[in-house]
Amino acid sequence: MREAPRTLLVPMNPSDDLVVRFGALRVGYRLGWVSVAFVFAALALDTHARHRGVLLLCTVAAAVVNGVATSIPWREWLIARRGQLLLDLWCVGLIGFVALLVVEGGQSFALLLFLTVPFIAVVQSGRRRPILFAAVLASCVVAMAMTRVEVGTAALRLVVIGALVAVSLVVARTIRLQLALRRESDHRITNDLQAAADLLLLDGPEVTAQRIRAIAAVHRALATSGDQVEADRLLEAIAATAALPVSVDAEPALLDPTTAQRLGAVANELVTNACRHGLAPIELRLHANRLTVDDCGAGLEGGDGVGLGLVRRLVEDGMSGRFEVRPRPDGGTRAEVVWPR
């Protein structure tokens, strides 16, 4: 039976989250100036607003705060406690400012919630986000009660705000995932170039060409499989590049890209070694977390060569597994790799 697909876990780096939050803050500066301009225009056109002078003074203060925020080195400060505290104060001030505008200036200022809430959703994280959402909800309820908004209008407004928050969180998570994928891709390319450099130093042109073809087969499998790689097809692609016929007996299983890449490199090197130093028939097997390559040769003398040394490093350091080469009781040689599931 085929294993149930495992979720691909791309390691998220704290720097990815900081990049997204810093980007949201930069957008927030611009939205802040747009909001300030909107409020000034609305107050200029509506001469009947209650406490118009107070609202103008608060808007001037909001413009000053927004200007100060643009000069803060958020990229460095967000890592420290002081940066998070300033961000908390900024978000709380936004909530209070919009609530005051709605209560004193009318429901037209409630449109600012459609900018404020998604901004808070992206720049905040952890426990602070639900706490601030609760503060936004409480201020909305109080403001709508004081301005006597119809229930249907209030409910629709809350639904739209909730939808905007959900979309903002999805977009932010997608950006974080893309950053993590790019970082992982860069890491893989670096490792592959190092492995290719090692392989080019091992043997002559023909063996080197075979190794490069096998590496290309592994990458084709990774490129066409998405977030899961079929182990049997991966090993069949590697066997097809071998200098001698290789039979494959592999259980249908799904591998994450990192495991597939390392396992493909190990299988390729073991098959190459069997073709050079062993005799046909050569058998490549994969059952659960055990990979074996059998041939009918006498094996290598004098311990690991450069190629098997590379395999040992990949298995022990990259897969936290065990690698050994030993003679078979019925004659021939077996190379075996076992790694934790």
**What is the per-residue pLDDT for 198?**
60
Residue 141 pLDDT exceeds 90:
no
Q: Which of 166, 71, 88 is nearest to 124 (CA)?
A: 88
Query: Which CATH number is associated with domain 201-338?
Result: 3.30.565.10
**If pLDDT is split at 50, 70 and 90, which confidence band does 304 have?**
low
Block residue for tokens 């390729």: 268
User: Among 81-85, 170-174, 289-293, whose mean pLDDT is lowest?
Assistant: 170-174
In whole angstroms, give the CA distance from residue 70 to residue 91: 15
- Determine the pLDDT at residue 14: 57
Looking only at the bridges linking them, the beta strands covering 246-250 and 282-287 are: parallel
Q: How far apart are CA 183 and CA 181, in angstroms?
A: 5
What's the CA gap between 236 and 233, in Å, rounded?
5
State residue 3's pLDDT score: 40
pLDDT, tens only, 177-229: 777 666 666 665 666 556 666 655 555 555 566 666 666 766 676 666 656 78
337, 316 contact by CB (below 8 A): no
CA distance 261 to 194: 14
Does residue 5 surpass a pLDDT of 50? no
DSSP-derived 3-state class of residue 62: helix
Q: What percentage of residues in the chain have a pLDDT greater than 90?
A: 8
**More confident of the two residues 282 and 308:** 282
pLDDT of 322 over the 90 cut: yes
pLDDT band at 106 (very low <50, low <70, confident <90, very high): confident
236-to-51, 221, 241, 255, 281 alpha-carbon distances in Å: 78, 11, 9, 15, 16
Q: What is the pLDDT of residue 104?
A: 78
Do residues 78 and 84 make contact, with C-beta atoms less than 8 angstroms apart? Answer: yes
In this predicted structure, what is the pLDDT of residue 9? 41
Average pLDDT value for the chain: 78
Which has the higher per-residue pLDDT, 77 or 221? 77
95-104: pLDDT as tens digits: 888 888 887 7
User: Rounded to two decimals, what is the model's pTM?
Assistant: 0.49
CA 132 to chain CA mean position, Å: 26
Confidence class for position 74, pLDDT limits 50, 70, 90: confident
Residue 201 pLDDT: 56
SS (H, E, C) 11-61: CCCHHHHHHHHHHHHHHHHHHHHHHHHHHHHHHHHCCCCCCHHHHHHHHHH
Residue 318: which pLDDT band, with cuts at 50, 70 and 90? confident
Percent of the chain with pLDDT over 70: 77
- Give the model confidence (pLDDT) of 31-52 as tens digits: 888 888 888 888 787 655 667 7
**DSSP 8-state code for residue 285:** E
Contacts of 327 (CB under 8 A, 6+ apart): 299, 333, 334
Domain boundaries, the chain: 14-180, 201-338
Q: 97: closest CA among 143, 162, 141?
A: 143
